[in-house]
C-alpha cells in the first residue's frame, strides 16, 4: 500500500485555481476540499471544486472543448478534507464500483459537544432525508425513504466540554455523521442545524482526514492523509498529530 501524506503538487495552474492537489495521474486526481466550498455544482450556482478541477485540467494540459471530471463521492459544503475525482469515465466507473462494494475506507475527525459514554462504539440507525428543508432524521426501518447508516467512532481526546473523535464510515448517507452524533446527544461543534453551537465562519468541526482505495487501473491501494486546520478553533485545542496516527 502506498501511503501519501499531505504533499500538494506545486505549480502555477493550481495556485491560480486555489487547488491543493495531493496526487494526480492520467486517471485520478486527489485534492483537499476547502470547508465552505461545494464539491460539485448545486442550486446556489457558487463556484465549486469539480469546476475548479476542470479549469485546472483545461489550462494545465491545454485541453480543447469540454473537460471530463467524474464525481465519485461527496462531502458536505461545511466539511473539508480529502476527495478523489476521476479523470476518465473508466476510472469513474471503477471507483464508483469500489465505493459501492466497500473498498473505500473513509475516516473523519470531529469535535463533539461533550464526550460519548463509551470510548469506542458503533452507531447503527435508519435515516430519512426531508428534501424540503434539507434535513436528515433518524427514523424507523419501515418509514418511506429510510436508509441504513452505520459508523464506528473512537474518542481520541477528552476535554470534558468537548471531545475529539475519529469516525470510520461504513455507509455514506447524507449528513450521516452529523445526524448520528446528534442522535446520541453529542452534536458536532459548529453544527447549528443539528443542535451544535455556533462556530466561526459557519465551519463544522468535521474533517475527512483519511481516504484509502484501490487505484482504478493499477489496483494498487492508495492512502491519503490530511490534517485539519491546526490553528483554527476548536481544532487547536487538541493534539491532532496524535489523532492522525490512529490506525
Q: Is 59 exposed, middle or buried (0-12, 13-18, 19+ CB in 10 A)?
A: middle
From 76, 103, 117, 152, active-site residue = 76
The whole-angstrom distance between residue 5's C-alpha and the CA centroid of its chain comes to 16
Q: Other C-beta atoms within 10 Å of 152: how many?
A: 14
To the query of whether residue 117 is one of the catalytic residues in this protein, the response is no
Q: What is the 3-state secondary structure (H, E, C) of 18-35?
A: CCCEEEECCCEEEEEECC
- Residue 242, CB-side half-sphere exposure with 13 Å CA sphere: 10
Task: Looking at 142-205, list the stretches that DSSP marks H as alpha helix, in order from N- to C-terminal side.
Answer: 176-183
Q: What are phi and psi for residue 120, nearest 5 degrees?
A: -125, 150
Element (DSSP H or E) covering residue 122: strand 120-130
Helical segments of 101-142, H only? none
Q: Identify the helix (H) or strand (E) that includes residue 3.
A: strand 2-4
> What is the CA 224 to chain-centroid distance, rounded?
12
Q: Give me the active site residues, please.
A: 76
Amino acid at each position: 500500500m502506498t501511503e501519501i501524506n499531505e504533499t500538494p503538487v506545486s505549480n502555477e495552474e493550481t495556485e491560480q485555481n486555489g487547488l491543493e492537489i495531493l496526487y494526480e495521474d492520467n486517471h485520478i486526481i486527489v485534492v483537499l476540499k476547502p470547508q465552505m466550498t461545494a464539491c460539485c455544482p448545486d442550486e446556489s450556482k457558487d463556484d465549486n471544486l469539480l469546476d475548479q478541477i476542470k479549469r485546472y485540467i483545461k489550462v494545465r494540459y491545454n485541453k480543447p472543448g469540454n473537460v471530463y471530471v467524474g464525481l465519485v463521492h461527496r462531502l458536505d459544503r461545511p466539511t473539508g478534507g480529502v476527495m478523489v475525482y476521476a479523470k476518465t469515465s473508466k476510472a469513474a466507473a471503477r471507483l464508483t464500483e469500489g465505493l459501492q462494494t466497500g473498498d473505500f475506507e473513509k475516516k473523519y475527525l470531529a469535535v463533539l459537544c461533550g464526550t460519548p459514554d463509551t470510548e469506542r462504539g458503533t452507531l447503527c440507525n435508519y435515516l430519512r432525508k426531508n428534501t424540503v428543508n434539507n434535513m436528515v432524521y433518524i427514523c424507523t426501518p419501515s418509514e418511506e425513504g429510510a436508509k441504513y447508516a452505520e459508523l464506528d467512532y473512537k474518542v481520541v481526546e477528552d476535554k470534558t466540554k468537548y471531545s475529539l473523535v475519529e469516525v470510520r464510515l461504513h455507509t455514506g448517507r447524507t449528513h450521516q455523521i452529523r445526524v448520528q452524533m446528534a442522535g446520541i446527544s453529542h452534536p458536532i461543534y459548529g453544527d447549528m442545524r443539528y443542535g451544535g453551537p455556533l462556530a466561526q465562519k459557519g465551519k463544522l468541526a468535521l474533517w475527512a482526514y483519511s481516504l484509502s482505495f484501490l487505484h482504478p487501473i493499477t489496483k494498487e491501494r492508495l492512502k491519503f492523509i490530511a490534517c485539519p486546520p491546526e490553528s483554527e478553533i476548536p481544532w487547536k485545542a487538541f493534539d491532532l498529530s496524535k489523532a492522525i496516527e490512529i490506525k
